[in-house]
Structure 1
């Protein structure tokens, strides 16, 4: 007795702020027989989850350790500062890091930005999470600099945000364990890169289906096979082709005009 084959599935990890919905929708359309499971994970824990096999691939924030993980950069986010709506910063279209020099800028423990030097003045304590930091901004305790997707994720009616032109940016990448790329990971790579369903990098089509499609394409190009007319000016069905075979009309004297009286006879004599 043999064990039944395990049903294929795909586990996709994603970090806060990343929205994989559009790619998941395409996956479900193209591979309805392979369920995709989303696994939310804090940004700092995502690389470890991929290394330990907790997910097949993940939408993570850069940088990642390229010695143990493969990664394809997808996009880079705008960095913004989150402020109360009545703050002076809210009156500007965008600001620079130097404009925050006199402000208390919160730096949560799960910060995803790679700062060489933290902006503004430090708070007495670091908030545990970005969500906690947003609550402190609403309470008027300080400001917060984050990728724009996190500002949207933790949106509040009493807060707004503005771009910070010279702050570090946060890149998002598709990542998976280093080594041979599994077929299902290759499928998801194709989806995030916008490959069509007929791309040669996708799953191979069954040979019978490919051959049938090729035969139909040839028939469409040639318009189907045609029979050659049989010798003697007749078609394969025995019907005349309407063409002369020896330069003479069939059944007619070549010297007669209509096949009636001979052209060599003289005119009848008139009666007197």
Structure 2
């Protein structure tokens, strides 16, 4: 669960970006300072709610006395036309916060909804859907929380919480073995190590090394099944590359433990959410 301290700086920065140097010229000119209003956050399409508390923070920052009633909490599925929440407070605050609230919640709900689609597609298999570091700059914590709300799980959060030896590392190190040896010599015993491989021959080399997981990059279902058989439960297996709603079921049925998809954060369609006064 995200605490306000984790998302309030993002909301503040987004509001300040919108307010610029002179504030909300349109609203301040049209709406009396003492006017009150009620607004409904409404989903224009079916989806999974995420970022509601982030959106509500925008209203609270501009009107600490705003009254809020929630119909669909984060992690809930909302139908098209469904009301997510109602806010009542100073009309100027509601209108000024509107775009910040909708931008953030629409983005995060889109991530959760995209994740939900992949999770549903692999139901009945042992595979888990995980995200990557392909996130919007400045929004990683929020987008990874949205993935969890969509039923997925998180890969590493950054470069500092786990090791992932990729092809470029191997090229510079001169091979998989020297790359892993250098990692093991430089990191503590609590750090997990994963190695990316493109072929079954590379996988056989990895199986002789002290690693925790293997990333099977851009392998088809047949090669994935062969890889899972080779690993035989000794390592966690992660499939990555070419993951779509159409392909994810076949990938999952290969027996891999995890399926990572970058597009659920970097290219997920924004969920259409509106503010009706």
- TM-score, normalised with respect to structure 2: 0.21
Return the structure number with greater helix share: 2
TM-score (norm 1): 0.21
Between structure 1 and structure 2, the one with the greater Rg is 1
